[in-house]
Amino acid sequence: MAASPDRPRRRRYTRSTAEGPLAITPQRLTLLRQVARLRISSLPQLATLACLSQKRARRSLRALFDHGLVDVIAVPRVALADPGELNAPALLYGSAPNLYAITRAGLKVLEELGVVEDVPPPGRFGPRNSLFLAHELAVRDVRVWLELTARQYSGHSLEAWHDGAAAEVDLRRSLPPRKARPDAWFLYRLRERTLVGLLELDRGTERGSRRWGEKLQAYEALFASSRLREVTGYANARVLVVTFSARRRDLLANLIAKHAKTELAGRFWLAERSVLKSYDLNYQGWRQPGNPLLHSLVPAELVQS
């Protein structure tokens, strides 16, 4: 919509002058909490979690931005492009979806309302670390998928989620590998059972097998020790690997089958990211190393609509 002389167009990354105090409506509060919990998130992710259209979510987030409760992060479109997207001039034009991060003022409002959760302090995001943001947003896609999947079933919930540095597990070893570094780990409650997941988000941007060889060594050391139970409260876990293509999924499945011991390989479940479009634990989109067939992540008897 064109700006009128009396109401100039608002700039995307510049706060407009706020007219009076901000009314914290339930919709705005929901969005503010989600921004705080995710730490870095996109407009589509926030709209999906809040069950809003992107247009409505954008309008509420704009009010939160103008009042200094959230930041809008400037990144070029090319920084968020999929690894398989054509390297074409079109990537230079157009806008990436708005990205949001909580501010200290936003956290203060949540604290004053008594609804703040245990969230990390605001991070520093911007154009200089835009390549890192593409990976972080993909990790958040998995969290959004888990939360929306839990809404489909009685007695299901995402009980815990830790990502980034908070997901690292110190193996307390004198020799390498000294740490296991999943992109995130989580506890997903299925009524009386709990799925413990260690997430690996693979965008397929690294060539060769060295990095995955190091990861397999770290996971072997983790499962051979007591550190998994000490950190998560559980002795067993699955390593969930989400890739950006079926070809990459199958390549990694074959690599793990070749280089990991049988017991360790059996802990890995791999899927192409299209599984995140279905909030159904019975969806057969996951495979394990050494088995070309696709299965559901959770046995049907544990899933109740």
Q: pLDDT, tens digit, for every residue of 120-154?
A: 666 677 666 666 888 999 999 999 999 999 999 99
Query: Which range has the worst mean pLDDT, 40-44, 72-76, 224-228, 265-269?
Result: 72-76
- Whether 155 and 73 map to the same domain: the answer is no
pLDDT for the residue 76:
75
pLDDT at 168: 97
Whether 85 and 161 share a structural domain: no
H or E segment at 54? helix 54-66
* CB 243, CB 202: distance < 8 Å: yes
The predicted model scores a pTM of 0.90
H or E element, residue 238: strand 238-243
Lowest mean pLDDT among 87-91, 120-124, 160-164, 249-253: 87-91
Kindly report, residue by residue over 90-129, the tens digit of the pLDDT.
Answer: 555 666 789 999 999 999 999 999 887 667 666 677 666 6
Identify whether residues 160 and 254 lie together within a single domain.
yes
CA atoms within 13 A on the CB side of 134: 19
Domain CATH number, residue 58: 1.10.10.10
- pLDDT at position 117 is 66
pLDDT tens digits for 47-91? 999 999 999 999 999 999 999 999 998 887 776 777 766 555 655
What integer pLDDT is reported at residue 60 of this predicted model?
A: 97
292 by Cβ neighbours in 10 Å (0-12 / 13-18 / 19+) ranks as exposed
Q: Mean pLDDT in the chain?
A: 89
User: With 60 as the cut, is the pLDDT of residue 305 above it?
Assistant: no
Structure tokens at 226: 């007591």
Query: Does 42 reside within a domain?
Result: yes
Distance between CA atoms of residues 240 and 188, nearest Å: 13
Mark whether 90 and 220 lie in a shared domain: no
pLDDT of residue 121: 61
The string of DSSP codes covering 7-43 is: BPPPPTTSPPPP-SPPP--HHHHHHHHHHHHHSSEEH
**Strand ranges (DSSP E) for 67-192?**
70-73, 99-102, 156-163, 169-170, 179-180, 184-190
Cα(104)–Cα(36) distance, integer angstroms = 10
Residues 93 and 152 in one domain: no
Helix (H, G, I), strand (E, B) or coil at 208: coil
Which of 125, 153, 185 lies at the terminal end of a domain, its last residue?
A: 125
pLDDT of residue 85: 63
Q: Please tell me the predicted confidence (pLDDT) of residue 195.
A: 97
Confidence of residue 33 (pLDDT cuts 50, 70, 90): very high
Pairing relationship of beta strands 291-296 and 99-102 according to DSSP bridges: unpaired
Is 1 contained in some domain? no
Q: Could you list the residue range(s) of the whole structural domain that residue 248 is in?
A: 128-305
Of the chain, the percentage scoring pLDDT greater than 70 comes to 87
Residue 298, SS3 per DSSP: coil
Within-domain flag for 288: yes
Say which residue, 116 or 176, is predicted with more confidence: 176
Confidence of residue 20 (pLDDT cuts 50, 70, 90): confident
Q: For residue 5, what pLDDT is reported?
A: 52
Asked if the model's pLDDT at residue 164 lies above 80, the reply is yes
Enumerate residues 6+ apart whose C-beta is below 8 A from 58: 43, 47, 98
Last residue of a domain, one of 125, 159, 184: 125
Domains identified in the chain, total number: 2
198 by DSSP, 3-state: which?
Answer: strand
Domain membership of residue 301 (yes or no) is yes
Span 171-190, average pLDDT: 96
Joined tokens for residue 231: 């950190």
In a domain, 3, yes or no: no
Residue 224 has pLDDT above 90, yes or no: yes
The pLDDT of residue 1 is above 50: no
Write down the pLDDT at residue 66: 95
Pick the last residue of a domain from 101, 125, 149: 125
The answer to whether residue 6 sits within a structural domain is no
pLDDT tens-digit readout, 260-295? 999 999 999 999 999 999 999 999 999 999 999 999
- Choose among 136, 161, 166, 133: nearest CA to 147: 161
